[in-house]
Amino acid sequence: MKRTVIFGGSFDPLHIGHENIIRNLADRFDEVIVVPTYVSPFKQAEKAASPELRLAMLRSANFPDNVIISDYEIGNSGCSYSINTVMNFASEDRKLYFAVGGEAVRTLDKWYQAEKLKRMCVFYAILRPGYDKRRDVENVEWADFCGDDISSSEVKAALGIGYGKSLVSPGVYKIIEENGLYDGYNFVGKAYERFGMKPQRIEHSFNATIEGIKLAKRYDANIKDVTVALLMHDIGKYVTVDMLKDMKIPVPDCGNLPEECRHAEYGAAICKYVYNLSDEIVNAVKYHTTCCPSMDKLTKIVALADFIEPGRKFDGVEKIREAAKNNLDEAVVMMLKSTIDYLRAQNKYVAPITIETYRKLGGKL
Ligand SMILES: [Fe+2]
Ligand SMILES: [Fe+2]
């Protein structure tokens, strides 16, 4: 009997995280069947690559001989339940496994025809790094390796700013380039050049974006808006009033905002007048340092991701990171408290709008 594992996904695009999982599966099973799913062109917030190109990405990777790339679900071009795929590959000489993410284990009972599915295959659960929550569940076998903590949304953001090459293999990169795929954030890379963003600042912006994408998924926010706002949040960092005037960008009135907060106002003006971004994104950039009492979910996520991205190291950041996993508002209040306390300890100006926001969200001074 062959031990066969089915690994499905949209692979939009195929990234090194997927490739590592497929290689690990190939080491542990007699046969790996990789099944790219059909992606409805109508359901996507971001344009998906065509089924043919997603298949081409998988075929471009150098997988071991026991990896089979299947167009079964793509060929069905419609709603495809896992049970259909499992039934399609079932045979007398195969013991079937179905690879799932570790988090999916909680919801397996809600899958379509769950009972039948359980009878036909064993779930092979792969955890993300740092989520060691293996527990005994009927019909689930836990993989002895972890997946990488990379998401397709993150890869798309990286491609926009020239960071993509480290996240996809060369063959996949070539397909992306040749077909002009995932170009939604390419304007950001050009903006970085135009407004003199320094490499360190770009790295910080990217780290904040990755953090923001995680928060967006956790709190059900628009991933595309979060990505654009965070990639662009510090675009005003190296901009002067004279530069804005030269570029015919209306100079914002910064009132008595301290120097270190003005880049947010300049950045918002750039987002609005040069790139015509939405009011929500412009506001998120504008208030990413001071916050504001009427801040929406997008602005909260942008401010918080900027504050807790992995490069930030200050006393108390870990507690805020923990809070951000459970309660967005609570984490924002902690962030504001930390900012106010820090500025006061340094005898620095605290923007009244920051204190107002802190009180509005229930914080006490
Ligand atoms: Fe900033
Ligand atoms: Fe920042």
* 175 domain-assigned: no
* 302 domain-assigned: yes
* 45 domain-assigned: yes
Going from the Cα of 204 to the center of ligand 1, the distance in angstroms, rounded, reads 10
* 266 domain-assigned: yes
Query: Mean pLDDT over all residues of the chain?
Result: 93
**Which structural domain range is residue 276 located in?**
185-360
Going from the Cα of 204 to the center of ligand 2, the distance in angstroms, rounded, reads 7
Number of domains composing the chain:
2
* pLDDT tens digit sequence for 181-210: 999 999 999 999 999 999 999 999 999 999
Same domain, 121 and 194: no
Q: How confident is the model at residue 132 (pLDDT cuts 50, 70, 90)?
A: low
* 170 domain-assigned: no
* Residue 344 belongs to domain with CATH number: 1.10.3210.10
For residue 45, pLDDT over 80 is answered with no
Q: Name the residues around ion ligand 1, CB cutoff 5 A.
A: 234
Going from the Cα of 203 to the center of ligand 2, the distance in angstroms, rounded, reads 10
Same domain, 58 and 197: no
Domain boundary among 152, 167, 198: 152
pLDDT of residue 43: 55
* 174 domain-assigned: no
Same domain, 124 and 205: no
Q: Which ligand is nearest to the CA of 266?
A: 1
Domain boundary among 152, 172, 205: 152
Domain boundary among 134, 152, 170: 152
Same domain, 338 and 200: yes
Same domain, 193 and 333: yes
Going from the Cα of 225 to the center of ligand 2, the distance in angstroms, rounded, reads 16
Mean pLDDT of the 144-160 span: 93
Q: How confident is the model at residue 99 (pLDDT cuts 50, 70, 90)?
A: very high
Pick from 138-152, 183-197, 222-236, 324-338: least confident? 138-152
* 17 domain-assigned: yes
In the 3-class helix/strand/coil scheme, how is the chain assigned residue by residue? CEEEEEEEECCCCCCHHHHHHHHHHHHHCCEEEEEECCCCCCCCCCCCCCHHHHHHHHHHCCCCCCEEECCHHHHHCCCCCHHHHHHHHCCCCEEEEEEEEHHHHHHHHHCCCHHHHHHHCEEEEEECCCCCCCCCCCCEEEEEEECCCCCHHHHHHHHHCCCHHHCCCHHHHHHHHHHCCCCCCHHHHHHHHHCCCCHHHHHHHHHHHHHHHHHHHHCCCCHHHHHHHHHHCCCCCCCCHHHHHHCCCCCCCCCCCCHHHHHHHHHHHHHHHHCCCCHHHHHHHHCCCCCCCCCCHHHHHHHHHHHHCCCCCCCCHHHHHHHHHHCHHHHHHHHHHHHHHHHHHCCCCCCHHHHHHHHHCCCCC
Mean pLDDT of the 277-301 span: 97
* Residue 19 belongs to domain with CATH number: 3.40.50.620
* 327 domain-assigned: yes
Q: Which ligand is nearest to the CA of 208?
A: 2
Going from the Cα of 305 to the center of ligand 2, the distance in angstroms, rounded, reads 9
Same domain, 338 and 198: yes
Mean pLDDT of the 119-148 span: 87
